[in-house]
Amino acid sequence: MESAYGMPAPIANAWALVRTKDPVPIATAVREQRLVWIADREHLARSFPGAAIAVPYHFSIALAPVCVGELAWGGFMLVWPAGRFTEPTPRQLDVLSKTCAEIGEVLRCAAERGQPINPAPRPRILVPPSASGNPSADMVALDNLNRLPEGYCSLDTEGRVTLISAPAADLLGHPRDLVGRRLWEALLWLSDPAYEDRYRAAIVGGQVTHFIARNPAGRQLSFWMYPGLSGITLRVTSGTMSREPRSCPTARQSRPLRLIAVHETLQLATTLARAVTAQDVVDLVADHVIPVYDAQALALITVEGGRLRVSGSRGYSREVIDELEGRVPAAPVSADLIRRGRTGFFSTWEEMRQAYPDAVRGSMQAWAFLPLVTSGRPIGTCVLGYDHPHTFGAEERASLTALAGLIAQAFERARLYDTKHQLAKCLQSSLLPHTLPRVPGLDVAARYVPATPGMDIGGDFYDLIRLNDSMVAAVIGDVQGHDMTAAALMGQVRTAVRAHAAAGASPGKVLAHTNRLLTELAPDRFTSCLYVSLDLRRRVACLASAGHLPPVLGMPGGPARVIETSPGLLLGVDADAEYATTNMRLPPGSVLALYTDGLIEEPGLPLDEAIDRLARRFNPSCGLPLLELADSLIEPATLDKRSDDIAVLLLREALT
């Protein structure tokens, strides 16, 4: 967020950094380059539950992308009190569209001048101008308010007192030096977050809110908040009598923790549930914690092999990271606190140096060390760094300690996933051919793309087998399932196919022999497979298919065509299954494409249509390297989250 108008800084700071892939309204508007309209809190909770937890107030919101050409460079947001209208009017939409276009033009011109407009680390809060701008008029207004029996107080969008009447000061039991201070910070008996929540609800939702509190003398007071563009008018009356609408919400008692921290804790909890890898945890924690707690740096540190290891960081220099990772963990503060599973808060460098003389300072001047403990075992520490001396109050310490528990659970889960995923990746890559044999007269390119991180291991495989000086066999297949068993079975299928091919079996017999083996090894797992025998001298191919997708033959300068095969049963279904063969000629310059279903499958798209789409965009040009052609085929399938692997094998007569 670059700037905000009519919004308290704590709320704006919570959205200082929003990733374009986050499930929040503004990110959706920018990412999808469309208007996003949220009518009310129920609509927000339905569409963006994480955002509803962070800002649980009644408001309507319109969000639009700021585009420069075909690219979105930012977003624009307008907020109304909920219920003002069901959707923006055409005139409002027109103004919003023109405003975004003008902002985009300003950004474009600045970029072309070599002076791009970059957002600051913290949002710039634009303060509404004074209603009168005349100090004497303000004194007249205050004099008028002093004549009324009820107390009145004016708060700006930050909750600071800008004007207070004498009756209000008397009811609050405090002298008039409240001006310039936040009410709930100056008056300890109003420090309950429920009261601050009523203020935020009035500011964000634009609705009159109400709460009841008791001053230190035991006197019960009613507080009514009337929102406006420049802040809040607070009416204070003695007792609980109310002449206001019954629908006005009344504050309830709550724990004495700053409400913005409560909301951020809940939002971070829902956000971390999406984290898959350790780097995801680092990025999400940095994005959500650094702006809210006014920190400038963050690092997740563990101990591995007797030394410190920085698992991820944001805001620390490379020199500081290298120095930390090179140390034996007996000296630095991180290692000591990790070993004991303790928190550490150091407001200044002097405090840090006094406790740990060998600590690494870097450019920071204050630190919070938060233990990452799971199942009673310390696994690391989360370090927040501040580039200025920072006093940690009791509420902030409690809030940060609570955050540490969430971070620890997500980090441990991510580390376990990283280990499992790396093991699966190594297993699968070891079962696929590292290199394909060089065959005179034949160009070959193969590509394998694993499923999107977060998915399990797949069973896609390919192979190229040199049979003699002029004969080769190409194989591609897909084992049912996405687990270790699928990967192991894939290795057995490759081995069986190679053994029968080397023995001189025909394509149909290779599949038949492999099928009989699989029915014994894994009767509950099935495998699709396409086996192609190529005679390079005669330019003839013989194909046999066990329920696999048909190959596509691409012609330079002409349309590609789908090769019709006579597919038999999947391998592993029936031990006595037989497999028919199909013979075809390979025209000069043609490219034969073998692939698995991850390349073409789309939700709701019939398989035949998906194969036809592939054929329509398969247009190999003369002289185009096969690897580039393979990349062009795979690229469209890798743009979105995939639940299946992709394997592609391309074959072409070698260019002379």
pLDDT, position 476: 94
Q: What is the largest CA-CA distance in the chain?
A: 108
Averaged pLDDT, 455-474: 83
8 Å CB contact between 186 and 196:
no
State yes or no: pLDDT of 165 exceeds 60.
Answer: yes
The pLDDT-based confidence of 509 (bands split at 50, 70, 90) is very high
Dihedrals phi, psi of 285, to nearest 5 degrees:
-65, -45
**Residue 540, CA distances (Å) to 117, 129, 504, 532, 533 in order:** 62, 82, 17, 10, 8
0.75 exceeded by pTM: no
pLDDT, position 533: 95
126 beta partners = 5
State yes or no: pLDDT of 395 exceeds 80.
Answer: no
CA distance 431 to 418: 20
**Residue 24, CA distances (Å) to 19, 57, 59 in order:** 9, 15, 15
CA torsion angle 158 161 163 167 (round to 10): 140
State yes or no: pLDDT of 412 exceeds 60.
Answer: yes
Task: Please state which of the ranges 351-360, 489-498, 633-642 shows the lowest mean pLDDT.
Answer: 633-642
The pLDDT-based confidence of 300 (bands split at 50, 70, 90) is confident
8 Å CB contact between 271 and 382:
no
Half-sphere exposure of 179 (CA within 13 A, CB side): 9
Task: Please state which of the ranges 101-110, 238-247, 561-570 shows the lowest mean pLDDT.
Answer: 238-247
State yes or no: pLDDT of 455 exceeds 60.
Answer: no
Instruction: Give 591's contacts (C-beta < 8 A, 6+ positions apart).
Output: 553, 554, 618, 620, 626, 629, 650, 651, 652
| pLDDT mean across residues, the chain | 80
Highest mean pLDDT among 293-302, 476-485, 574-583: 574-583
8 Å CB contact between 311 and 342:
no
The pLDDT-based confidence of 80 (bands split at 50, 70, 90) is confident
Domains of the chain: 3-126 (3.30.450.40), 135-238 (3.30.450.20), 260-424 (3.30.450.40), 432-653 (3.60.40.10)
Query: DSSP secondary-structure letter at 2?
Result: -
State yes or no: pLDDT of 328 exceeds 90.
Answer: no
Instruction: Read off the tokens for 416.
Output: 């376990």
Instruction: Give 135's contacts (C-beta < 8 A, 6+ positions apart).
Output: none
If we measure between CA atoms, which residue out of 414, 464, 402, 475 comes closest to residue 439? 464
pLDDT, position 562: 93
8 Å CB contact between 59 and 202:
no
CA distance 513 to 102: 70
State yes or no: pLDDT of 104 exceeds 60.
Answer: yes
Averaged pLDDT, 531-552: 94
The pLDDT-based confidence of 248 (bands split at 50, 70, 90) is very low
8 Å CB contact between 36 and 43:
no
Instruction: Read off the tokens for 591.
Output: 């490219």
pLDDT, position 465: 93
If we measure between CA atoms, which residue out of 437, 578, 548 comes closest to residue 502? 437
CA distance 628 to 591: 13
Burial class (CB in 10 A: 0-12, 13-18, 19+), 195: buried
Q: What percent of the chain has pLDDT over 70?
A: 82
Averaged pLDDT, 582-603: 89
pLDDT, position 50: 67
Angle, alpha carbons 26-39-67 (nearest 5°): 30
**Residue 580, CA distances (Å) to 239, 288, 514, 542, 548 in order:** 92, 60, 15, 10, 13
CA distance 378 to 271: 23
CA distance 273 to 287: 15
